[in-house]
Amino acid sequence: MFLEPQETMPQTSVVFSSILGPSCSGQVPPGMGERGSGASSSGDLVFQEGRLISGSLEALMEHLVPTVDYYPDRTYIFTFLLSSRVFIPPHDLLARVGQICLEQRQQLETGSEKAKLKSFSAKIVQLLKEWTEAFPYDFQDEKAMAELKTITHRVTQCDEENGTVKKAIAQMTQSLLLSLAARSQLQELRDKLRSPAMDKGSVLKTKPPATQKDILGVCCDPLVLAQQLTHIELERVSSIHPEDLMQIVSHMDSRDKHRCRGDLTKTYSLEAYDNWFNCLSMLVATEVCRVVKKKHRTRMLEFFIDVARECFNIGNFNSMMAIISGMNLSPVARLKKTWSKVKTAKFDVLEHHMDPSSNFCNYRTALQGATQRSQMANSSREKIVIPVFNLFVKDIYFLHKIHTNHLPNGHVNFKKFWEISRQIHEFMTWTQVECPFEKDKKIQNYLLTAPIYSEEALFIASFESEGPENHMEKDSWKTLRTTLLNRA
């Protein structure tokens, strides 16, 4: 699995989208979710300063379902539908929603408010519409789709006169089926895509073939390459959905008793994007190590430093971090004679931004600045924010890890899930930005299909460029050559 939590727990992001409620300071207070001053109880729901902070799962489910005089806040709908899957599979939640709806309908039919039945039905359809739009892939499950049909059939019976509700249900169902079809087609396309080749056949050669291009032969403008990397980032991150990110919580919770249908697909979406980071890092290292002449290697390093800087300026922190990681891999970092010729001032600035000390404080400050720029943006270029994905994943994981799902009284710690939902919603807002840069198929094809050396091949190429300098390197070099010759 791509996520490997470290001993030091990252703090949560200090900037949140205002869409999901009041702003919150960086790390969630240790006492999150506990009843404190200003807390009030409404049945099995507990509010603090007007904000829901905890409740029994049953009460939270009832709070989701509209009544004649009530419709849930959209932020609550999103947050509860997102977080509920930690406790109950979507199809079971949908079944319970249907049961609550049926009970309310029966009360209206037998009481004095039968005239309000149509209004109630319209609210139920609106809830289902928001659910299918926000989390369409919950309905890949045949059980969930069957429950949806059961509820909509009951609701349709309440509006047989003019068919307004029936028409709304038909439109909702059509949109849902289109979303599911689009995801299915995307999955098929992903399966067909060839993963980057691992060039192992020519690693013992002192020179690459004369016809073999390098990145500079395809694109020598750092800004253009940074823009094409941003294109790839936005295309790939757009395949991640809120419920995919919630797998970080449900997959890693040892107390989780269920696994939602389609978990493997959702995990694949996260790992596929994380794999892109690793491939880009290895591509950078390959491009540097396979260059024979020191002068050209120096130029290659300086080029990638400039590309990383342009990524930073754009707000593409994920590609920037991948490039820096590639240049910090041992086969590249050990090329001391090459690095001695590089003007490293710009690289030092980049490394300062990605300094891991104080929980990546410098990066988080830069991310906050990019987020503020995005919120006030007048153009698509200013809206781009692509965070370092692995750090975002760890933030979500540790937010889940250090706060319990349930309080001592058995209530769901909903304040915790407000915070997780807030961060995921902000991330999803960033992924929906349309890339403003013109797509260059030639450059993107190279970035996605160029041969990438294995770690073993990188070391061999590195040692061929600059020989081993100490006994440890000499032993490693001798072992590598022997291994490859025996393999051949």
pLDDT value of residue 320 = 97
155 and 246 assigned to the same domain: no
Residue 9 has pLDDT above 80, yes or no: no
Same domain, 222 and 138: no
Do residue 144 and residue 227 come from a single domain?
no
Distance CA 330, CA 347 (A): 16
> Distance between CA 223 and CA 243 in Å, rounded?
34
Convert the pLDDT of each residue in 102-154 to its tens digit: 898 888 877 666 668 888 889 999 999 999 999 998 998 899 999 999 999 88
Mean pLDDT score of the chain, rounded to an integer? Answer: 83
Selected residue with higher pLDDT from 12 and 341: 341
Same domain, 128 and 225: no
The verdict on residue 296 lying in a domain is: yes
Is 197 contained in some domain?
A: no
- For 388-411, the pLDDT digits (tens) are 999 999 999 889 889 999 999 999
Closest by CA position to 83, among listed 250, 240, 262, 265 = 250
Per-residue model confidence (pLDDT) at position 161: 61
List the one residue out of 282, 297, 339 whose CA is nearest residue 465.
297
Same domain for 177 and 224? Answer: no
- CATH number of the domain at 150, please: 1.20.870.10
What residues does 479 pair with on adjacent strands?
none
Whether residue 28 has pLDDT greater than 90 = no
- Quick one: 239 and 388 in the same domain? yes
283 and 150 within one domain: no
Q: What is the pLDDT of residue 210?
A: 47
Q: What is the pLDDT of residue 187?
A: 66
DSSP, residue by residue, 97-165? HHHHHHHHHHHHHHSS-GGGHHHHHHHHHHHHHHHHHH-GGGGGSHHHHHHHHHHHHHHHGGGTTT-HH
119 and 225 in a single domain? The answer is: no
Q: Are residues 180 and 226 in the same domain?
A: no
For 409-446, write each residue's pLDDT tens digit.
Answer: 999 999 999 999 999 999 999 999 999 999 999 999 99
The answer to whether 310 and 222 have CB atoms below 8 angstroms apart is yes
CB-based contact 284:327 (threshold 8 Å): yes
Structural domains in the chain (count):
2
pLDDT band at 315 (very low <50, low <70, confident <90, very high): very high
CA distances from 20 to 15, 406, 421 (A): 12, 22, 8
Handedness of CA 78, 80, 86, 87 (dihedral sign): negative
191 lies in some domain: no
**CA-CA distance, 457 to 469, in Å (whole number)?**
18
Question: Cβ neighbours of residue 316 under 8 Å, at least 6 residues apart?
Answer: 226, 229, 230, 233, 384, 386
Answer for the pair 234, 435: CB distance below 8 angstroms, yes or no. Answer: yes
More confident residue, 382 or 251: 382
- For 242, counting Cβ atoms within 10 Å of its Cβ (0-12 exposed, 13-18 middle, 19+ buried), the class is middle
The predicted model gives 360-375 an average pLDDT of 95
The answer on 448 and 321 residing in a single domain is: yes
How large is the average pLDDT for residues 2-14? 36
- pLDDT tens for 58-106 read 999 999 999 988 999 999 999 999 999 999 999 999 999 999 998 988 8
Backbone φ, ψ for residue 25 (5° rounding):
-70, 165
Whether residues 274 and 329 fall in one domain:
yes
Asked if residues 326 and 332 have their Cβ atoms less than 8 Å apart, the reply is yes
In a domain, 32, yes or no: no
Mean pLDDT of 31-57: 69
Structural domain contains residue 387: yes
Instruction: Please tell me whether residues 230 and 370 are part of one structural domain.
Output: yes
> Which pair of structure tokens corresponds to residue 122?
């319209």
In a domain, 223, yes or no: yes
Residue 470 located in a structural domain: no
Containing 91, the helix (H) or strand (E) segment is: helix 90-110
CB 237, CB 273: distance < 8 Å: yes
User: How confident is the model over 321-333, as pLDDT tens digits?
Assistant: 999 999 999 999 9
Side by side, which strands form the sheet with 51-55? Answer: 39-42, 45-48, 51-55
**Residue 311: pLDDT band by 50, 70, 90 thresholds?**
very high
Q: Which amino acid is at 380?
A: S
DSSP 8-state code for residue 47 = E
Structural tokens at position 452: 């990438």
13-27, 81-95, 361-375, range with the lowest pLDDT: 13-27
CATH number at residue 438: 1.10.840.10
The count of other CB atoms within 10 Å of the CB of residue 283 is 23
pLDDT of 199 higher than 80: no
Q: What pLDDT, in 10s, does the model give residues 239-289?
A: 898 988 888 776 655 444 444 434 444 567 788 888 999 999 999 999 999
Q: What local confidence, expressed as pLDDT, does residue 57 receive?
A: 95
pLDDT at residue 488 in the model: 62
Question: Residue 329 is part of which domain span?
Answer: 213-254+266-453
Q: Quick one: CA torsion of 180, 181, 182, 184, rounded to 10 degrees?
A: 90
Which residue did the predictor score with more confidence, 389 or 21?
389
pLDDT at 155: 85
pLDDT of residue 212: 66
446 domain residue, yes or no: yes
Residue 351 scores a pLDDT above 90: yes
Asked whether 433 and 115 are in contact (CB, 8 A), the reply is no
- Of 359-363, 365-369, 469-473, the range with the lowest mean pLDDT is 469-473
Q: Which tokens is 336 given? A: 């001391």
pLDDT tens by residue, 448-462 = 999 899 998 899 999
